[in-house]
């Protein structure tokens, strides 16, 4: 069996580890556009602030490829996929045949058109290790950095560079920060916290035009800057697959086994859609845990093991300047606010006797117990919901559940 994986991040690693659990003989090849050993992209902000380094950013040990008997084609891009011939063509002209192919090409930064952007010399995106290197090299102690985008990427970037520059201004079209993971109340708590750390926000505003070192905003404000970071968002990197005639929506359409519309072609990670069980919709869940688990599902299925990826939910754990956020699920309905203070917020979203989502800011201890309620669609009338709302605890579950999980009936 010949397995080829395009991409070299979490989904690819998940696939390799799954394949090798079942098949030690088949040949596995990873085609990686980036020339680096597999590394964790979410760590680039930690790299800039010195909380990790390139050695510790490696997502798997140095012997990963060797130990798993993987042919690692570093610095090569797949430029064409020919599903009829079951082959891919690389940028060096070589052609590789596959029996099973995984497309795990990730995402690419989305840069909206803006007048004069081409005149800005020092402009950066913030997704890859190369992006982090380029930005790091441009920083200086008195620099004024303008970040476009108050989402996860823009704000992690802000945190990562905060002590290396003079001033950071974040502009976003949305009226609040982190709208993809927080509700309005949560956003305002985090905004106040980030402002205390010196980050300035200009919300409900956007750039009308750039000159080399100035942004003219729709509101009429003029913002001078030294360095520009474009962190508006990312888009699934689906062009290779789409050009081959595969079915795409926002991302590559996949089933519960991560199969695509093309025979023997699978997709996983930020380029692919998952079925979000909290909204019952197929959507791109661009999250590292989801990427790993999709890759694992695909890898297993390639070897003949049918283990569906059927517990996918949006979920995030992220912190800014010491204040942590853990969220999961979707936020339909009014929600139940359990705690609401300056650095503490806790809200639950309940629908049809199920916890479908939650937001925690500050006290995040044992949050995974809440996540399990969302992921397992636990009927809330089978647990002591009032008790678990106060704090996550297994005491709120039935004795039978505890005997099962803690007493070792099953693990």
Partner 1 sequence: MKRVYVNEKWCLGCHLCEYNCAFANSGKDDMVKALKGVSIHPRIQVEEHDGICFAVSCRHCEEPLCVKGCITGALSVDNGMVSIDHDKCVGCFTCILSCPYGAVMPDETGHAVQKCELCLKNACGEPACVAGCPNRAIVFEER
Long-range CB contact pairs, 86-95, < 8 A, 24+: 86/264, 88/4, 88/6, 88/31, 90/31
Q: Least Å distance between CB 287 and partner 1?
A: 9
Lookup: tokens for 104:
């795990």
Q: Least Å distance between CB 30 and partner 1?
A: 16
Under DSSP, is residue 319 helix (H, G, I), strand (E, B) or coil? strand
Lookup: tokens for 267:
């997709």
Nearest to partner 1 of 24, 399 (CB atom): 399
Stretch that binds partner 1, among 72-80, 231-239, 257-265, 319-327 (CB under 8 A): 319-327
Residue 399 near partner 1 by CB under 8 A: yes
**C-alpha to C-alpha distance for 11 and 302, rounded to whole angstroms:** 14
Nearest to partner 1 of 308, 407 (CB atom): 407
| Interface residue with partner 1, options 113, 220, 304, 408 (CB under 8 A) | 408
Question: Is the CB of residue 91 less than 8 Å from the CB of residue 184?
Answer: no
Residue 406 near partner 1 by CB under 8 A: yes
Q: 203, 202, 190, 133: which is closest to 321 by C-alpha?
A: 190
Partner residues linked to 217 by β-bridges: 207
Residue 316 near partner 1 by CB under 8 A: yes
Q: Least Å distance between CB 163 and partner 1?
A: 16
Residue 248 near partner 1 by CB under 8 A: no
> Within positions 167 to 226, which residues make up the interface with partner 1, using CB under 8 A?
none
| Interface residue with partner 1, options 58, 235, 283, 377 (CB under 8 A) | 58
Nearest to partner 1 of 220, 408 (CB atom): 408
Lookup: tokens for 37:
């050993």
> Within positions 266 to 295, which residues make up the interface with partner 1, using CB under 8 A?
288-289, 292-293
Q: Least Å distance between CB 242 and partner 1?
A: 28
Residue 299 near partner 1 by CB under 8 A: no
| Interface residue with partner 1, options 16, 57, 120, 189 (CB under 8 A) | 57
Residue 341 near partner 1 by CB under 8 A: no
**C-alpha to C-alpha distance for 104 and 266, rounded to whole angstroms:** 8
Nearest to partner 1 of 120, 326 (CB atom): 326
**How buried is residue 321: exposed, middle or buried, by Cβ count under 10 Å (0-12/13-18/19+)?**
middle
CA angle 240, 246, 247 (to 5 degrees): 125
**C-alpha to C-alpha distance for 233 and 31, rounded to whole angstroms:** 25
**C-alpha to C-alpha distance for 179 and 190, rounded to whole angstroms:** 11
Dihedral angle computed from the Cα positions of residues 327, 332, 337 and 341, in that order, rounded to the nearest 10 degrees: 50
Residue 52 near partner 1 by CB under 8 A: yes
Residue 22 near partner 1 by CB under 8 A: no
Binding site for partner 1 (CB under 8 A): 10, 14, 40, 42-43, 46, 51-52, 56-61, 288-289, 292-293, 296, 315-319, 322, 324, 326, 328, 364-369, 371-372, 375-376, 387, 392-396, 399, 402-403, 405-408, 411
């Amino acid at each position: 069996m010949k397995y080829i994986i395009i991409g070299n991040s979490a989904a690819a690693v998940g696939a390799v580890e799954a394949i090798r659990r079942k098949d030690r003989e088949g040949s596995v090849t990873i085609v990686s556009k980036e020339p680096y050993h597999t590394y964790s992209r979410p760590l680039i902000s930690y790299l800039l602030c010195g909380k990790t380094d390139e050695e510790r950013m490696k997502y798997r040990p140095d012997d990963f490829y060797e130990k798993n008997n993987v042919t690692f084609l570093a610095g090569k891009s797949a430029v064409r996929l020919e599903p009829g011939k079951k082959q891919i063509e690389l940028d060096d002209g070589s052609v590789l045949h596959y029996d099973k192919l995984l497309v795990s090409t990730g995402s690419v930064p989305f840069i909206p058109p803006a007048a004069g952007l081409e005149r800005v010399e020092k402009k950066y995106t913030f997704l890859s290790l190369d992006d982090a290197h380029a930005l790091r090299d441009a920083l200086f102690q008195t620099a004024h950095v303008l970040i476009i985008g108050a989402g996860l990427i823009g704000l992690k970037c802000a945190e990562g560079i905060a002590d290396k520059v003079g001033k950071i201004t974040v502009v976003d079209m949305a009226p609040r920060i982190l709208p993809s993971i927080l509700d309005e109340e949560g956003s305002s708590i985090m905004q106040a916290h980030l402002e205390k750390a010196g980050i300035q926000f200009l919300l409900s505003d956007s750039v009308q035009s750039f000159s080399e070192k100035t942004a003219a905003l729709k509101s009429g404000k003029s913002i001078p800057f030294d360095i520009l970071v474009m962190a508006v968002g990312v888009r699934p990197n689906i062009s290779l697959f789409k050009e081959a005639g595969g079915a795409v929506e926002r991302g590559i359409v996949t089933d519960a086994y991560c199969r695509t519309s093309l025979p023997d072609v699978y997709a996983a990670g930020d380029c692919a859609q998952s079925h979000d069980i909290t909204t019952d919709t197929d959507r791109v869940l661009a999250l590292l845990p989801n990427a790993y688990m999709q890759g694992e599902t695909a890898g297993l299925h390639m070897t003949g093991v049918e283990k569906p990826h059927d517990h996918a939910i949006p979920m995030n754990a992220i912190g800014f300047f010491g204040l942590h956020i853990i969220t999961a699920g979707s936020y339909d309905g009014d929600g139940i606010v359990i705690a609401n203070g300056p650095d503490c917020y806790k809200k639950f979203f309940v629908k049809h006797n199920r916890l479908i989502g939650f937001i925690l800011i500050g006290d995040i201890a044992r949050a995974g117990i809440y996540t399990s309620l969302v992921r397992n669609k636990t009927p809330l009338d089978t647990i002591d919901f009032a008790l678990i709302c106060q704090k996550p605890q297994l005491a709120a579950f039935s004795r039978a559940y505890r005997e099962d999980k803690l007493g070792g009936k099953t693990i």
